[in-house]
Chain A
Amino acid sequence: MTPKNNIIIGIIVALLVIASYNVDANPIDFVEGLPNLVIILEEIVAVEPKYIPTALWAMFETIQMAFIGTVVGIAIALPLSMLAARNLNSKFVYAPIRALLAAIRTFPSILWALLFVIMVGTGTFAGVLAIIMYTIGFITKLQYEAIETIDSDPMDAVGSIGVSKIQLISYVVIPESASHLLSQMLYMFDYNIRQTSILGLVGAGGIGFYIINYIKFFEYGKAAIFMLVVLITVLIIDWVSVKIRDKYIIKSQHGMDVPTK
């Protein structure tokens, strides 16, 4: 540990204390609040089981919203990513596209949801639109970065036989980056399910809509049941997508044989 490191750590600790004071983040309040969890637990046990099918249905609705949002978002994002990749386009093409995508990315999904609730009214459609916009902003960055890292030799070799730009993209760029793109799409779907679960907080449908309303009416037990459903679903989807990635994608990225079944 050099004196310089000590100074840096000291500064970080000092900033932490000052910021915590400013935002009123008191660890004592956290400890004192812990018994409240017990009250919530008691309420969960008291909730009638008839609410569980509703929670599951709301979760299913959320998954469908995330699915539409992800698929449509990616369909729009893929051509934009091709235009934003520096190894495929001149500065005059990729620079404005990147600026546009950066602007889209500045908004978190909940702000998009708020905007679409104002535009098309409350409900799941506003949530779907929000997920589409968020997906476009988020996945294009991952995709054009993946495209930029592909080996330039196949592109040079195929480019030198006089093929068109479209041919180069569909016969070289997409196959070469396919495993990365697929892995990112899977991750995006997984991520969008979590996001869609909270969009209901601003009235954009899905399971979050139930959660926020139960909380408003102090029905913490019911809210907690719905939150548990979200937690379990997210865990399952996370586990499934890790399995899919391991089995079909990671191996092909490392040039190993990919089982076809």
Chain B
Amino acid sequence: MKQIQMTTNPSFSLISTKKVIQMSDVWSSYDSKNFALEGINLSIDRGTIYSIVGQSGSGKSTLLKLMNGMMVPGKGIIKIDYVTPDMNNKKFKTMMHTIGYIPQSLGLIKNITVLDNILIGALPRLNKIQSLLKKFPENEVKEAKRILQLVGLTGKENRKVYMISGGEKRRVAIARALMQKPTILLADEIVSELDHVTAHEIMDLIIDVQKRTNLTAIMVHHDMQLALEYANRVAVIKDGKKILEIGVEGDNIVDFQTGDMTTEEIMEMYSDDPKK
């Protein structure tokens, strides 16, 4: 069934079905022996916030790279709006600009300005001449400045990225992703290494943007508390397996599905976590 969703910005994708990302029995590995992911199944509803929680090396970053086509699975099926994410897939290439990706290190270009970094999100919309001359059309610059204001960076547009703080860098990365006019946002540990207050500011910003634009946000965290606080659903990954998926509504857990581990084992795993 198809439904039309209203967004604040009409250029965002309008026609959609409920499930936006689906993974079925996905296996992935960096080499032939060790698997980063083992038989992952998940499905993500449009316009929701889906958090993936796990310790370092659990395979959660790999999941994001599979979703934006930077990696392809060894086995299994992944569909993003019914298209297989793969950089060599022509159909996927035409929709890559609708997926905003923020790597853990943010991937900003440090010796250009904040505004220039944000404008990079508009690159897929430039024609060859504009791109060659590095001349962004007036409406794109206006849009970049609007987003700059939205993420709270007004007045910082001409600062070089290496001159701004860690929290501000994250805002730039979010702004660059928003400049793409995405329907999906993938963020890899965007608030790790930040102090508690700044981390919540950044998360609040993402929630605000998500509500305005009906984004589907997939966020990787290692802090379970933070994930539960902000997500509609939380998946817990351990050693490449999904061991738990939780549905959250407000402060209540509404749905609880365990995978290969028992509830006791999971509780034990997180009892040592100082953040818990």
Residues of B within 8 A of A256 (CB): 162
Within 8 A of B (CB), among A164-179: 164, 166-167, 170-172, 175-176, 178-179
CB pair B103–A157 under 8 Å, yes or no, is: yes
CB pair B131–A166 under 8 Å, yes or no, is: yes
CB pair A158–B123 under 8 Å, yes or no, is: yes
CB pair B103–A171 under 8 Å, yes or no, is: no
CB pair B124–A176 under 8 Å, yes or no, is: no
A163 within 8 A of B: yes
In whole angstroms, how far apart are the Cα atoms of A17 and B101 in the complex?
A: 63
In whole angstroms, how far apart are the Cα atoms of A167 and B130 in the complex?
A: 11
Interface SS of chain B: mixed
B6 within 8 A of A: no
Kindly identify which residue among B94, B97, B111 contacts A161, using a CB–CB cutoff of 8 Å: B97
Q: How far is the CB of B132 from chain A (nearest CB, A)?
A: 8
Residues of A within 8 A of B59 (CB): none
In whole angstroms, how far apart are the Cα atoms of A160 and B243 in the complex?
A: 29
CB pair A176–B109 under 8 Å, yes or no, is: yes
A257 within 8 A of B: yes
Q: How far is the CB of A161 from chain B (nearest CB, A)?
A: 5
CB pair A153–B106 under 8 Å, yes or no, is: yes
A33 within 8 A of B: no
* Closest chain B residue, CB of each to CB of A158: B120
- Encoded as 1 (CB less than 8 Å from any B CB) or 0, chain A from 226 to 252 comes to 000000000000000000000000001
- Encoded as 1 (CB less than 8 Å from any A CB) or 0, chain B from 95 to 132 comes to 11101111101111111100000001101101000011
In whole angstroms, how far apart are the Cα atoms of A178 and B103 in the complex?
A: 23
Q: How far is the CB of B120 from chain A (nearest CB, A)?
A: 6
CB pair A163–B107 under 8 Å, yes or no, is: no
Within 8 A of B (CB), among A27-64: none
B93 within 8 A of A: yes
A24 within 8 A of B: no
The count of residues in chain A whose C-beta lies closer than 8 Å to any C-beta of chain B is 27
* Closest chain B residue, CB of each to CB of A177: B111
A255 within 8 A of B: yes
In whole angstroms, how far apart are the Cα atoms of A99 and B26 in the complex?
A: 41
CB pair A160–B111 under 8 Å, yes or no, is: no
Kindly identify which residue among A156, A166, A252 contacts B111, using a CB–CB cutoff of 8 Å: A252
B253 within 8 A of A: no
Q: How far is the CB of B159 from chain A (nearest CB, A)?
A: 10
Q: How far is the CB of B156 from chain A (nearest CB, A)?
A: 14
A3 within 8 A of B: no
Residues of A within 8 A of B94 (CB): 162
- State whether A255 and B162 are in contact (beta carbons under 8 Å apart), knowing that A160-B96, A172-B109 are contacts in the complex: yes
- State whether A160 and B131 are in contact (beta carbons under 8 Å apart), knowing that A175-B111, A252-B111 are contacts in the complex: no
CB pair A175–B109 under 8 Å, yes or no, is: yes
Residues of B within 8 A of A257 (CB): 160, 163
B70 within 8 A of A: yes
Residues of A within 8 A of B132 (CB): 166, 170
17 contacts between A and B (CB under 8 A): A151-B105, A153-B103, A154-B107, A156-B107, A159-B70, A160-B99, A160-B101, A161-B96, A161-B101, A161-B123, A161-B180, A164-B131, A167-B131, A171-B134, A172-B109, A175-B111, A176-B110
Q: How far is the CB of A232 from chain B (nearest CB, A)?
A: 35
In whole angstroms, how far apart are the Cα atoms of A77 and B51 in the complex?
A: 47
Residues of A within 8 A of B124 (CB): 161-163
Within 8 A of B (CB), among A104-141: none
Q: How far is the CB of A172 from chain B (nearest CB, A)?
A: 6
* Closest chain A residue, CB of each to CB of B121: A161
Q: How far is the CB of A160 from chain B (nearest CB, A)?
A: 5
* Closest chain A residue, CB of each to CB of B100: A161
In whole angstroms, how far apart are the Cα atoms of A156 and B69 in the complex?
A: 11
CB pair A157–B123 under 8 Å, yes or no, is: no
CB pair B131–A154 under 8 Å, yes or no, is: no
Q: How far is the CB of B83 from chain A (nearest CB, A)?
A: 13
* Closest chain A residue, CB of each to CB of B64: A160
CB pair B162–A157 under 8 Å, yes or no, is: no
In whole angstroms, how far apart are the Cα atoms of A176 and B107 in the complex?
A: 11
* Closest chain B residue, CB of each to CB of A157: B107
B68 within 8 A of A: yes
Residues of B within 8 A of A164 (CB): 131
Residues of B within 8 A of A159 (CB): 70
CB pair B107–A153 under 8 Å, yes or no, is: yes
* Closest chain A residue, CB of each to CB of B69: A160
Residues of B within 8 A of A166 (CB): 131-132
CB pair B69–A171 under 8 Å, yes or no, is: no
- Encoded as 1 (CB less than 8 Å from any A CB) or 0, chain B from 167 to 181 comes to 000000100000010
* Closest chain B residue, CB of each to CB of A178: B111
Residues of A within 8 A of B160 (CB): 257-258
In whole angstroms, how far apart are the Cα atoms of A175 and B123 in the complex?
A: 15
Residues of B within 8 A of A167 (CB): 123, 126, 131
